[in-house]
Amino acid sequence: MSSDSVEEWQEQLDVEKLVRRIRDTVSELRAGEFWQQWKNQLLVSTSPSRPSDSIKTEGQQEKDTEATVRQQLECVCYGLGSFSSCVSARYQLAMLLLLLDAGHIPLKDCALYDPAFTVAEKDILRELGLTVLTQNEEGKRLATKPTLFYLMHCGKALYNNLLWQNWNPHCLSLVTIIGNCFSGIRERTIERELKRDYSYISRAVDLCEERLLPCPSRLVDVFSDTAIITFPSDRLNKLPSSTWTDSPEPQYQHCSDLEIILKQTPVLDSPETGLS
């Protein structure tokens, strides 16, 4: 066997080993009691007739149920991390697969992006049936359908960009986030800096609904400080229209440690470089 084919064979073995590990991790999580609580919270939070919504007539509730059947959830996952080398990321990937299954979200309707993914990791995600994004969206994905955003332990700018892009009652009501709890972010961040640099998170804390997700102590590094965050329409619709009008794109010019990787801006040809 040539050295090239030995390498290919070894890579294939590694891929198979990792896929098997991911599946084992899915089984391990599924057997845990806390998974049932995650599942219930997901189902409650993504149901159109969730308890916090205004009281509805019977007819309206029927319409909502139909809407649930018709409206498929989509999923976008940013910042999962390198799941072949990082155990936390592998557990988070396994949890994502369980959530997709519980939410009846087809695997292909789940798009993932992390600049840290290796070529082999992207191949594995595609092999699992998921969609790998090729562009760095910096978290600025507009929700045009009900969408579950899975952002585990991500930089604040990713959440802030996502909120900015969807900063109106219609789009926010389509957004469900599983990620760092916003009230925890507020507690850990100097108020002046949160308002200046992450103003959408700062404003969202008071208009979202957060349900903390349980985390067993042995998995504290993986699932700590995680909540399911929704934006109930009845709350959003009561807010004055001025809430939505002053909404500039975040610039982060004061952030020395932005915690996220920005997309590369193309280098423009200039006469000085001699390129035309």
Ligand X SMILES: C[S@@+](CC[C@H](N)C(=O)[O-])C[C@H]1O[C@@H](n2cnc3c(N)ncnc32)[C@H](O)[C@@H]1O
- Contact footprint for ligand X (CB under 6 A): 78-81, 86, 88-89, 92, 113-116, 136, 138, 152-155, 260-261
* Cα distance between residue 205 and residue 18, in whole Å: 38
Asked whether 143 and 175 are in contact (CB, 8 A), the reply is yes
Asked whether 83 and 263 are in contact (CB, 8 A), the reply is no
Three-state DSSP class for residue 78: strand
User: Minimum distance between the CB of residue 275 and ligand X, rounded to whole angstroms?
Assistant: 28
Residue 130 bridge partners (DSSP): none
Nearer to ligand X, 104 or 263 (CB): 263
Nearer to ligand X, 73 or 89 (CB): 89
Nearer to ligand X, 153 or 235 (CB): 153
User: Minimum distance between the CB of residue 90 and ligand X, rounded to whole angstroms?
Assistant: 10
Which residues fall within 8 angstroms of residue 274, CB to CB, at 6 or more apart?
Answer: none
Report the 10 Å Cβ neighbour count for 60. 13
Asked whether 81 and 88 are in contact (CB, 8 A), the reply is yes
Q: Which amino acid is at 251?
A: Q
Q: Which amino acid is at 116?
A: A
User: Minimum distance between the CB of residue 100 and ligand X, rounded to whole angstroms?
Assistant: 17
> Which of 26, 43, 3, 22 shows the shortest CA–CA distance to 178?
43
Positive or negative, the Cα torsion across 74, 78, 83, 84? positive
User: Minimum distance between the CB of residue 152 and ligand X, rounded to whole angstroms?
Assistant: 4
Nearer to ligand X, 22 or 260 (CB): 260
Nearer to ligand X, 37 or 85 (CB): 85
* Cα distance between residue 18 and residue 226, in whole Å: 25
Nearer to ligand X, 44 or 86 (CB): 86
* Cα distance between residue 225 and residue 169, in whole Å: 26
Nearer to ligand X, 150 or 231 (CB): 150
Residues in the chain: 276
User: Minimum distance between the CB of residue 68 and ligand X, rounded to whole angstroms?
Assistant: 29
- State in Å, rounded, how far the first CA of the chain is from the last one: 48
